Structure 1
Amino acid sequence: MQTLPAPYAETLRYSPFLARLLDSRPWLAEHLAATLDSPIDREAMQAFLTDPPGPLPFDPDERLEASLRRLRARVLAHVALRDLAGRANLDEVTGTMTTLAEVALEAAHDHAFEHLIERHGRPLSSSGWEQELLVVGMGKLGGRELNVSSDIDLVFLYPEDGDTAGPKILSNFEFFERLGRRLIHLLSAPTADGFVFRVDMRLRPHGDSGPLVCSFDMLEDYLLTQGREWERYAWIKGRVLRGERWQELEALVRPFVFRKYLDYGAIEAMRALHAQIRHEVMRQDRLDDVKLGPGGIREIEFIAQVHQLIRGGRDPELQIRPTRQVLRRLAERGILPAETAAALDEAYVFLRRVEHRLQYWEDAQTHRLPRDENQRTLLAQAMGYPDWSAFARELERHRERVAAEFTHVFGHEEQSTTVAVPVLSAAVDELEHCLQERGFTRSAELARRLDAFRASPRTRALTAADRNRLEALLPRAIDIAAAHPKHDDVLERLLDLFEAIGRRSAYLSLLQEYPQALRRVAELVGAARQAATYLSRHPILLDELLDERHLDEEPDWPAFARELERLLDALEPDAERQMDLMREHHHAQAFRLLMRDLAGRLTVERLSDHLSALADTLLELSLRYVWRKLRRRHTDTPRFAVIAYGKLGSKELGYVSDLDLVYLFDDPHPDALETYTRTAQRLNTWLSTRTAAGILYEVDLRLRPDGEAGLPVTPLEGFHRYQREKAWTWEHQALTRARFCAGDPELGARFEAIRREILCLPREPAKLREEVLAMRQKMRDAHPSRPGLFHLKHDPGGLVDVEFLVQYLVLAHAHQHPELTANTGNIALLRCAAQMGLIDAALARQVADAYRELRRLQHRQRLDELPAVVPEGEAAALREPVLALWRQIFT
């Protein structure tokens, strides 16, 4: 008998099972000796099945059973020897065992299927389409992570009911049930050659009490009406191993597993599942179990998969199965710190290698560390350690690291509160007394507000679980609000938020699971009413409060564009989901800027720069995907440009600003006007349609040539002609703040050339002054002043006056000083005009400072959702230089 090469023969002391296996199968050592230096692949397994060694039974069923069991012995011995000799990494071991299962399942299925159709014919739907059995691998088989002595978890499904088309007709259900039972028998029945895999069917709908096979309709009904939280966890790894209609099945299961919103309720559900497992471990005294014990393999899997359940509905790239790949992707997205993900991955590899060495010992599905001293020593040596104590120290290091992270993710810290009354059931006078004791000024009014909140139809319709969450959150909210300087406003705004999210248990779960998030919410809504409104409209942004790194991160807009484009491409051709995704990312970026703004990390100018860059990015991507979805288009690259006017044009965009846009094209194709008109209409729809995720931007096209009477898109030459021959002075004023922001860069450059040409036209100063003053007076008449108050934008000496001053200077002097046509903002243009001697330099600086401060005051008012009006005295000093320059230029 041929012996194994020395490096492999020495490893047999770590596995009495392998030693017996080689002794009982004389052919095995010869096969192994020829192939041990490289992994065994699918082709080699299939070749082995076609010509297995040794005598085989005559009966076809028994012949296949013997072949499959010999293949299992061959593959298990091969992978075990390579692993124990240090020649195979974890991915090779688990991948090889998974491939073995797939090859065996395929062979068993095909054999059993052919036998059945000979007797009963092929299974057909009522419409005559042939049906198939879809074999779904669950658990480690689904994730291609199968261990060396594992059961395989399977679910059997078929698409549609019907009957077979043969002489002995069966319903499709009966046909596939017989097929499933035969397949299980071929794999798991013990024979003289052993077994291939033990098969576990308990993850099917209704478990052991349910039918062995289900139709798609039966599965969908079960998941919708009876699917439990732990089944979502199980189906994360569900993978179709055989069956062509796997995409239909994935589309059916995906909404059950991955929710469209951030699903923080998954933490509570998985915590409960883990508690059941831990209770069973404690009951059976199995704390030395490397899979189920503290800091074990299961805890790493739970950490990875709870993040998948929370975010997988929003991020399709988290809908993957292998645990190690999930950890890497979580690190890439910043959901787990890179060092934490690396430590969990290292622990996972270590624990899986321990698991395999425990199972190599006697080919048993065990995860318990040995008690026998000799076996302990051999286990340590098989892991590369000199003795048990050295191994045990390393094992403990990994388990402690895993357990600490598990506690960080799943630990449920009970929050104490000073509120003694049950907020959802206490009498109104009790609530008032409670609030009064904590220093609330409007305690009676807030007590009535709390009473109205708990009596509202939304609150009364809550499930018992959500009501319990709210019962726990309200006292904390009262405590947190009481500690804030604006305590009354904070509590009122928190109640508004709770009312908005009350029926979305995931958001209540987030605030309950992460007390720091509730504190951050209170800080934000106390700083600005707009933050409260933004969160109430887009509660999905609560997730942003968990990561304080956003406060220090400067946006990288090119990187943001690349990442968003990658995610949008992954959703093709689903326009609805793409629109939602763009809105979600827009809201998230704007909210991050809002948080930095409220933390004092951004000037008003810098904030507007970022909001404008965000809008430019989204306009560019929107145009790209709108164009791609046109059924009739004559070119791959549209000769189309988006021109921004107003606040976006001057890069002074605010959080809720509309976009003033003009669309231009230059294309000689006969269908160009029709195509680009349709593009403009669809782009408006893409931007301003309200979906479940809100809107991107409101769009105003009234600044286009001929206003509302004009076409939504204008030929470049027509735009040029209109500006030269028909445009009013106020339209040239608007042109001073216009810029190309998306589309064809060449067309954008040509627009800029036209813009400069128009702005540099010589104008008669007296007539220009008269027309600018007339337009300004028209605006003042539309916004009359109020005694004792100053409107930061419209009143004399306000923001509009500064804008008109700059626009007049550009139109009056650009023909001699073309530098004034640069769209660099009002402050820079004032400085430029002073350098050219057009206005007094000292006065220009004062006006620029006043303009900056007026914008800051306007921004402050907007953050608290107040009108842009302040007491007259607060802005008196700011108005003086503006009015002085106005008099100097216009009188």
Structure 2
Amino acid sequence: MTALSSLIEQKLTALGSILCQSFPETDIHVITQHIQQYQQEKSHPIGRLGYAVAMSEFVEKVLQKQPHLLAQWWEKSPTFAEYEQYSARLNNQLANISDEVAFYKTLRIFRNIEMAKLSFCQSLNLATVEEIFIRLSQLAESLIIAARDWLYRQACEEMGTPLDEQGKAQPLYILGMGKLGGFELNFSSDIDLIFTYPTQGETNIEGSRARKPVDNAKFFTRLGQRLISALDDFTVDGFVYRVDMRLRPFGENGALALSFAAMEQYYQDQGRDWERYAMIKGRILGAQSDDPNITYLEKMLRPFVYRRYIDFSVIQSLREMKGKIEREVRRRGLKENIKLGAGGIREVEFIAQVFQLIRGGREIALQQQSLLHILPKITQLGLITPTQYQHLRESYLFLRRVENSLQAINDQQTQTLPTHDIDQWRLIEACRHFTCLDEQNQQIERHYIIENWQDFHRTLQQMQEKVRAVFNQLIGEETEENREKENQWLDFLEADFDDIAQMLQESDIQPEDINEILNKLGQFKENLHRRVIGNRGREVLAQLMPTVFSLIFKQENYRTLLPRILHLIEKISSRTTYLELLLENPQALRQVIELSAQSQLIADQLAQHPILLDELLNTESLRHPLPFTQYADELQQYLLRLPQDDEEQFINALRQFKQATLLRVAAADILGALPVMKVSDHLTYLAEAIIQSVVNLAWKQVSARFGVPQHLQHGEKNFLVVGYGKLGGIELGYKSDLDLVFLYEAMEGQTVGGKKIIDNNQFYLKLAQKIVSIFSLNTSAGVLYDIDMRLRPSGEAGLLGCSLSAFENYQLNEAWTWEKQALVRARPVFGEASLREKFEAIRQRVLSTPRDGATLRQEVSAMREKMFTHLSHSQDNEFNIKTDRGGITDIEFIAQYLMLAYAPQNPALTRWSDNVRIFESMAKAGIIHQSDATQLKQCYVDLRNNIHHLNLLGKNAVVSNDELITERTFIKQFWDKLFH
């Protein structure tokens, strides 16, 4: 490259003259000879030096002012690894400085030299793009903290030491915002700072020059002012950093430094969306991990930034911010700006940060500052595709390479492409190939075909187009699909009764349905007036409702669908974020309509728990639900993404996981992706996964207070949860409760390691109580499961838990026949393998105990008659699928009777707890005919299928008396054959 070659020679000649002037012993002829010989050799120090100063006027200026540094580089090139430990080296230089002039000078010279070194390493590709902006950030942080500490000591000598009420010294904490907070600083960035201190108080003037104390607010305001001057003032040695304090509470009109309490009050009461966005990258500079004030400050700020719920309101807020930026770009003619222009750096930041704001409260992995760390996390969560991730990462690194190379030319904060030929050649040279990290954090060389300015511009444009495509897809302007509204519904919220009637007449609604629909819409509008919606909520609702109505009235069952959707909209009308979710995601809205049209249960769940709307964004997962065997692992991973110190959020998360999974299963059921047996498998394994998490949580809480039984080995609990009924039979439905029994391995002794020692039996009883308490706790996400403990030994009069030996004794010697029937459908759902085996052995012994056949038939038949009398309340024209004769209960009693009657002769029959496999094993043993077993199984599946779908419709398990005649007839005939 001729232009650059000529520039290298010119720069080296000028530096050679400076070298000779500064060191008279230097031979000018030798210098000139070396320049001619090595200027084009990048492997030689002189060639490297020439290339670095040709790429950066700033580096040349630093070397002109620091001849000793020039002499060093002339002989030996700097390497990236040499330049770290900024804090230690800077503090050593400041240690013996006592006057402000020397202090200012030291800061500036240190900054300039270290920046020159980083520019050298950048130009020569001695470090990756990522390493450069991380090191730039570390340098800035070291200068800020060193300056703060030096000035703090001076301020304490002058005004005294600021104290809290307990007499403890108060430090100044500095929040680094923007790219400084994210370790992504540009070469010539401003630094955005916020100053804060722990508490109000006043200074202790003992040992200082002060005559009287000053309050902490005054002390820290003065300290902040001096720190800004130390960094920002321009002297003969330049400046350290341009400081921007406008991100502090109340902006330019706010106090320069606020106490923690004032900060918290501000962000609770007045914090705005753009401040949430800015605070994502907020990081406490110079943080010490053992400082409780830092822990408090971070915990205090987190809820402002990361909401506990899915927060889609930020999409519109960020879109509006982006719109303002674009208008500013047009107004100021900044289309060539690589940061603010279309597809620029800011759009990549918006993409990452919109997901942090939406989901960061529920996904702890998103609660970090670095963009390059966030991108893979949002990819793993399925929020962007791997292709989108690769496009964003590559484009971002290219844009940052351009930005840093551009700013390093003359240490100027610019993101606008140059018009000067030499600067254009500098960018071409910097961007044709450079080092960065790949997805596995391995160094790679990126190469681009860039031979001239047109090539550079084309490559840059390709990168920006990739970013813009992803941005438009995720955050961009509202889609045409969103804007296409049925005209007659556009003014629905402002329309009066007559206007709505006219709208209905212009639609495809049947004339005979108009009055009914009109009344429902009128009632809906009346209900909306009673709710606090807010201006933004009303705007979103006005945009959303036309689309909602057009989708509803395309459905055949619009009469039943309309009240379901109106109920949902009414429930979420005061929570704008959910309205925006539906507005921003037309596919999710269509999914709500489709599923609600077929399921009252889903409509009710969405209305009661709007957070579930988030689950509808991924329609593919609804048609292909997670394998039920993975629920335990999935739940564990889900819980690990939450802050581990927030117990309430942990318990809420269990309920949300259950509701979200139930929604996906119901959707797959409706969409035909799951048969009835698989639906029950999913619901049963979901319950088991939640039981496991609840037991572990209860164990953690109880053992924190009482320790654990002394005999236990590490990781042991010796605690067993047994599922009865539908849980035990792997036959849970959508509305099933959980029949549980708690057992444990009894050992004499006491607990160890807790605040209070208790007897082992008492420990397990407290554990059982805590488990029931967690299940029954009614939080904002609802009750986890209704728990039925009446099948435990002695029923409601018995203890919540008992030992395995006591359980066996009760079952063999005291249990009623109906309790043995219940044991048929019992199986362990939590506990160590050894305890499960012991329970199975007890169950087999009990079920295999010889019993009189006639007595057994009489007792089972009597119990069935008693249940029918007490539970069946059907009308003459109705059939209750569960409780009426010929229904589910008859089939269950048949399976239980067969087990109790024939297991004594064939103990292997006790292996299964579910009805379908019990019938199969009975046929295989020759106890019933294969055709009867097949027919019983089919009847059972058909009846359960009906119940599932009635549940989805929000109805009880009751049908017309003229339905299911074939199934009922066969079941009654088989019952009569067994019991009469």
> Is the Cα contact below 8 Å between 1:4 and 1:29 reproduced in 2?
no
Of stretches 370-379 and 573-582 in structure 1, the one that deviates more from structure 2 is 370-379
| Paired position in structure 1 for 2:69 | 28
2:509 is equivalent to residue 439 of structure 1: yes
The aligned amino acid for 1:516 is Q
TM-score (norm 2): 0.88
2:713 is the counterpart of 1:641: no
User: Distance between the aligned counterparts of 1:534 and 1:616, measured in 2?
Assistant: 21
Match of 1:271 in 2: 319
Q: Which residue of 2 aligns with 1:417?
A: 485
Aligned partner of 1:600: which letter?
A: G
Identity across the alignment (%)? 37
Partner Cα separation in structure 2 for residue 785 and residue 190 of structure 1: 89
Which contiguous aligned blocks of 4+ residues in structure 1 show a shift greater than 4 angstroms? 30-35, 56-59, 457-460, 556-560
Aligned mates of 1:119, 1:705 — CA distance in 2: 77
Deviations 1:792-811 (A, max 9, x none): 11222211111111111111
Structure 1 CA distance for aligned equivalents of residues 938 and 98 of structure 2: 96
Greater Cα shift, 33-42 or 828-837: 33-42
Match of 2:459 among 390, 394, 408: 394
1:728 Cα deviation (Å)?
Answer: 0.6
Of the structure 1 ranges 286-295 and 181-190, higher mean CA displacement relative to structure 2 is found in: 181-190
Distance (whole Å) between structure 2 residues aligned to residue 825 and residue 283 of structure 1: 72
Q: Which shows bigger deviation, 455-464 or 340-349?
A: 455-464
Residue 196 of structure 2 corresponds to residue 157 of structure 1: yes
Q: Report the CA distance shift for 1:638/1:733 in structure 2 as closer, same or farther (over 3 A).
A: same
Say if 2:724 and 2:739, in contact at 8 Å, map to a contact too: yes
Tell me the CA shift for residue 556 of structure 1.
Answer: 4.3
Equivalent residue for 1:619?
Answer: 691
Q: Which residue of 1 aligns with 2:147?
A: 108
One-letter identity of the residue aligned with 2:718: R
User: Given that residues 804 and 839 in structure 2 are in contact (C-alpha distance below 8 angstroms), is that contact kept between their aligned partners in structure 1?
Assistant: yes
1:460/1:711 CA distance change after superposition, 3 Å: closer
- Partner of residue 602, structure 1: 674
For residue 644 of structure 1, give the secondary structure of its aligned residue in structure 2.
Answer: strand
- Alignment equivalent of 1:175, drawn from 210, 219, 228: 219
Distance in 2 between residues matched to 1:260 and 1:573, nearest whole Å: 14
Q: Distance in 2 between matches of 1:688 and 1:255?
A: 27
Number of the residue aligned with 1:249: 297
Secondary structure, aligned partner of 2:551 = helix
Q: 1:128 Cα shift? A: 2.5
The correspondence for 2:588, drawn from 494, 499, 517, is 517
- Code of the residue aligned with 1:396 in structure 2: it is Q
Residues of 2 paired with 1:484 and 1:841: CA distance?
45
Asked if structure 1 preserves the Cα contact closer than 8 Å seen for 2:248 and 2:254, the reply is: yes
Task: Tell me, in whole angstroms, the C-alpha distance in 1 between the residues paired with 2:266 and 2:956.
Answer: 53
- TM-superposed CA distance for 1:57, in Å, is 11
Paired with 1:530 and 1:336, the residues of 2 have a C-alpha distance of 31
* 2:954 alignment partner, SS class: coil
The SS at the match of 2:661 is helix
Q: Deviations over 1:313-343 (max 9, x none)?
A: 1222211110111111101111111221221
Secondary structure of the corresponding residue to residue 185 of structure 2:
coil
Aligned pairs for 1:500-579 (under 5 A) are 500-556=571-627, 560-566=631-637, 568=639, 571-579=643-651
Change (3 A) 1:208 1:445: same
Question: Which AA in structure 2 matches 1:736?
Answer: V
**What secondary structure is seen at the aligned counterpart in 2 of 1:516?**
helix
C-alpha distance in structure 1 between counterparts of 2:76 and 2:634, whole Å = 48
- Judged with a 3 Å threshold, the aligned counterparts in structure 2 of structure 1 residues 746 and 35 are, in CA distance, closer, same or farther, namely farther
1:47 aligned to 61, 84, 89, which one?
A: 89
**Helix, strand or coil for the counterpart of 1:39?**
helix
Residue deviations 1:203-259 (CA, integer Å, cap 9, x gap): 111111212111122222222222211011001111111464122212222121111
Determine the structure 2 residue equivalent to 1:456: 527
SS in 2 for 1:95: helix
Distance across 1 between alignment mates of 2:93 and 2:299: 40
Match of 1:192 in 2: 236
CA contact 1:45–1:71 (8 Å) conserved in 2: no
Q: Which moved more, 1:559-568 or 1:293-302?
A: 559-568
CA contact (8 A) 2:722 2:740 kept: yes
Q: Name the stretch that deviates more: 610-619 or 238-247.
A: 238-247
Q: Quick one: distance in 2 between partners of 1:458 and 1:698?
A: 36
Does 1:654 find its partner at 2:765? no
Partner of 1:427: 496
Paired AA for residue 767 in structure 1:
T
Superposed CA deviations along residues 152-211 of structure 1, whole A, max 9, x for unmatched, are: 110001111111010431110110011111111111222222111111111111111212
What letter is aligned with 2:645? P
Deviation at 1:359, TM superposition (A): 0.5
Measured in 2, the distance between the counterparts of 1:31 and 1:704 equals: 84
Q: How many angstroms apart in 1 are the aligned matches of 2:64 and 2:163?
A: 49
Bigger mean CA deviation after superposition, 3-12 or 394-403: 3-12
1:775 to 863, 868, 892: 863
Match for 1:309 among 357, 361, 364?
357
Deviations 1:465-498 (A, max 9, x none): 1112112222221111110111111211110001
**1:632 counterpart (690, 701, 706):** 706
SS of residue matched to 1:794: coil
The one-letter code sitting in structure 2 at the alignment partner of 1:828 is: R
* Larger mean Cα displacement after TM superposition, 824-833 or 280-289: 824-833
Any idea what the Cα deviations from partners look like across 1:27-47, whole Å, max 9, x if unmatched?
Answer: 223555657233345425532
Counterpart for residue 881 of structure 1: 970
* From 829, 832, 835, the counterpart of 1:744: 832
Q: How does 1:217-228 map to 2 (within 5 A)?
A: 217-228=261-272
In structure 2, the residue corresponding to 1:86 is in which secondary structure?
Answer: coil
Distance 1:246 1:400, change over 3 A: same
Deviation per CA, 1:618-658, whole angstroms, max 9, x where unpaired?
Answer: 11111111111121022463221111001111111112211
Amino acid at match of 2:937: A
Query: Does the C-alpha gap of structure 1 residues 742 and 829 become closer, same or farther in structure 2, counting only changes over 3 Å?
Result: same
Output the CA distance in 1 between the equivalents of 2:694 and 2:979.
43
- SS of the residue aligned with 2:904? coil
Instruction: Report the more deviating stretch, 538-547 or 787-796.
Output: 787-796
- Deviation track 1:842-880 (CA, whole Å, cap 9, x = no partner) reads 122112111111111111111111121222332011123
- Shift in Å at residue 380 of structure 1? 1.1
Are 1:867 and 2:939 an aligned pair? no
Using the alignment, how far apart are the partners of 1:586 and 1:75 within structure 2? 55
Distance in 2, matches of 1:220 and 1:458, equals 33
* Cα separation, partners in 2 of 1:481 and 1:665, compared to 1, 3 Å: same
Moved more, 8-17 or 598-607: 8-17
Secondary structure (helix, strand or coil) at the match of 1:483 reads coil
Counterpart secondary structure, 1:740: strand
SS for the counterpart of 2:708 is coil
1:604–1:856 Cα contact (<8 Å) kept: yes
1:70 aligned onto 2:109: yes
Letter in 1 for 2:321: L
Aligned-residue CA RMSD (Å): 2.0
Give the gaps of 5 or more residues in structure 1.
none
2:666–2:952: 8 Å Cα contact kept in structure 1?
A: no
The residue that corresponds to 1:38 in the other structure is 80
Matched position secondary structure for 1:368: coil
Q: Residues of 2 paired with 1:4 and 1:613: CA distance? A: 67
Q: Which moved more, 1:243-252 or 1:175-184?
A: 243-252
- 2:673 is the counterpart of 1:673: no
The aligned residue for residue 726 of structure 1 is 814
Unaligned runs of 5+ residues in structure 2 are 1-18, 20-30, 32-43, 433-449, 751-758
